[in-house]
């Protein structure tokens, strides 16, 4: 009987989450207003969506605007809101044709009617697509997500003993996706910034100094190679390929 250890199962990258940080610094380095960094960031995102599709990644979740980003100067906030509407207009047809399903996760109550319409149109047009699912976290906060899940569970009539990790996760904004396997944060900071707090419990993380507009396929492959070399144990002692 063989006594050699069981081979480690290959890691599967189904769900990639990204904190797209560094747009402002990218623009400042070029003596441009910060808005130009966000504009370049949208183009990078569109390229990365193609790269993720080519690599068979099923879910891509990006942090586009946090609940805390309202604290930024008014012109930057309104610039970002306008940019999103322009980006949806510019890229929606391409994304829809490429089979991308767009899902917005975040609080829609406090965004403008124009933005609500743009998000609704993007979701509506891509609802039946079966390619990559792009979840855009907009006006999103991890704490908001958890609090809202509790409120929805209570409103649905769940009794305290019925609130479990499994039942509560059905009320989170990410109900349509497995938990992320890998989180990439660009821009050199090493923190979560209230992104997907519940869902990142066992996610592997890669922090890159690259500013988001400079992030490219080679940087993505480097992050994936780092992920592929990890041992995921999910609190167990033996490696597990995915949960
Ligand atoms: C962080 O960089 C980036 C943001 C707050 C916004 C990211 C948004 C986009 C790339 C646009 C997304 C659009 C769509 C349609 C999904 P930062 O401004 O904090 O950069 P800094 O750390 O250098 O100041």
Beta strand spans in 46-169 (E): 59-66, 101-105, 133-140
Question: Separation of 182 CA from ligand 1 center, angstroms?
Answer: 19
pLDDT at 231: 85
170-207: burial string, b at 16+ Cβ within 10 Å, e else: ebbbbeebebbbbbbbbbeeeebebbbebbbeebbbbb
Is residue 243 a part of any domain in this protein? Answer: no
Can you give the pLDDT of all 243 residues of the chain as single tens digits?
445 556 666 689 999 999 999 999 999 999 999 999 999 999 999 999 999 999 999 999 999 999 999 999 999 999 999 999 999 999 999 999 999 999 999 999 889 999 999 999 999 999 999 999 999 999 999 999 999 999 999 999 999 999 999 999 999 999 999 999 999 999 999 999 999 999 999 999 999 999 999 999 999 999 999 999 998 777 777 776 555
> Given CA atoms 94, 183, 176, 120 in this order, what sign does their dihedral have?
negative
Q: What is the pLDDT of residue 2?
A: 47
Do 204 and 181 form a contact (C-beta atoms < 8 A)?
yes
| Dist. CA 212 → ligand 1 center (Å) | 8
Per-residue pLDDT, 207: 98
| Residue with CA closest to ligand 1 atom 24 | 24
The CA-CA-CA angle for residues 193, 196, 197, to 5°, reads: 75
Residues in the ligand 1 pocket, defined by CB under 6 Å: 20-25, 38, 41-42, 45, 64, 69, 84, 87, 136, 187
- Decide if 183 contacts 14 (C-beta within 8 A): no
User: What's the domain range around 84?
Assistant: 15-230
69 noted as active-site residue: yes
Say if 214 falls within a structural domain.
Answer: yes
Closest CA to 212 of 178, 240, 236, 189: 189
Is 170 contained in some domain? yes
- Specify the pLDDT at position 233: 73
Give the DSSP per-residue string, 151-204.
HHHHHTT--GGG--HHHHHTTSTTTTSPPPSEEEE-SS----TTSSTTTTTT-E
Residue 13 buriedness (CB in 10 A; 0-12 / 13-18 / 19+): buried
Structure tokens at 129: 């697509």
Give catalytic status of residue 21 as yes or no: yes
- Whether 155 is covered by a domain: the verdict is yes
Ligand 1 atom nearest to 88, measured from its CA:
15
Tokens for 134? 């792009």
* 7 within domain boundaries: no
Question: Does residue 196 form part of some domain?
Answer: yes
Residue that has been written with the tokens 């500013």 in this structure? 211
Specify the number of domains making up the chain: 1
Please report the pLDDT score of residue 1 as a whole number. Answer: 47
State which ligand 1 atom lies nearest to the alpha carbon of 41.
10
Residue of 18, 19, 24, 215 best suited for mutating to test ligand 1, as the one with most atoms within 8 Å of CB = 24
Q: Given this model, what pLDDT does residue 8 score?
A: 62
- Is residue 105 within 8 A of residue 135, CB to CB? The reply is yes
Strand-pairing partners, residue 63, are 19, 137
**Which of 25, 38, 43 is the pocket-test mutation for ligand 1 (most atoms within 8 Å of CB)?**
38
Q: Ligand 1 centre from 183 Cα, in Å?
A: 16
**Span from the CA of 120 to the centroid of ligand 1 (angstroms):** 21
Q: Is residue 242 part of a domain?
A: no
Query: d(Cα 90, Cα 76) in Å, to the nearest integer?
Result: 20
Q: For residue 235, what pLDDT is reported?
A: 77
Q: Which residues contact 19 (CB under 8 A, 6 or more apart)?
A: 63, 183, 184, 185, 186, 187, 192, 193, 195
**Is 99 a domain residue?**
yes
Report the CATH number at residue 46.
Answer: 3.40.1180.10
């Amino acid at each position: 009987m063989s006594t050699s250890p069981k081979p480690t199962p290959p890691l599967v990258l189904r769900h990639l989450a990204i904190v797209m940080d560094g747009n402002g610094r990218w623009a400042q380095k070029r003596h441009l207003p910060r808005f130009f960094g966000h504009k370049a960031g949208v183009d990078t995102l569109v390229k990365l969506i193609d790269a993720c599709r080519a690599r068979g990644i099923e879910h891509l979740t990006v942090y586009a605007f946090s609940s805390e980003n309202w604290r930024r100067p008014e012109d930057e906030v309104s610039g970002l809101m306008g940019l999103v509407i322009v980006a949806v207009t510019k890229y929606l047809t391409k994304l829809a044709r490429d089979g991308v399903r767009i899902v917005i996760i975040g609080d829609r109550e406090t965004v403008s009617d124009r933005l609500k319409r743009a998000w609704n149109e993007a979701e509506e047009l891509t609802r039946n697509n079966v390619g990559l699912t792009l979840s855009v976290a907009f006006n999103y906060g991890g704490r908001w997500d958890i609090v809202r899940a509790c409120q929805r569970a209570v409103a649905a009539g769940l009794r305290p003993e019925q609130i479990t990790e499994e039942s509560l996760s059905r009320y989170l904004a990410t109900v349509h996706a497995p938990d992320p396997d890998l989180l990439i944060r660009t821009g050199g900071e090493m923190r979560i910034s209230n992104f997907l707090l519940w869902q990142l419990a066992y996610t592997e993380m890669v922090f890159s100094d690259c500013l988001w507009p400079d992030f490219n396929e080679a940087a993505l492959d480097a992050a994936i190679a780092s992920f592929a070399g990890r041992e995921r144990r999910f609190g167990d002692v033996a490696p597990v390929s995915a949960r």
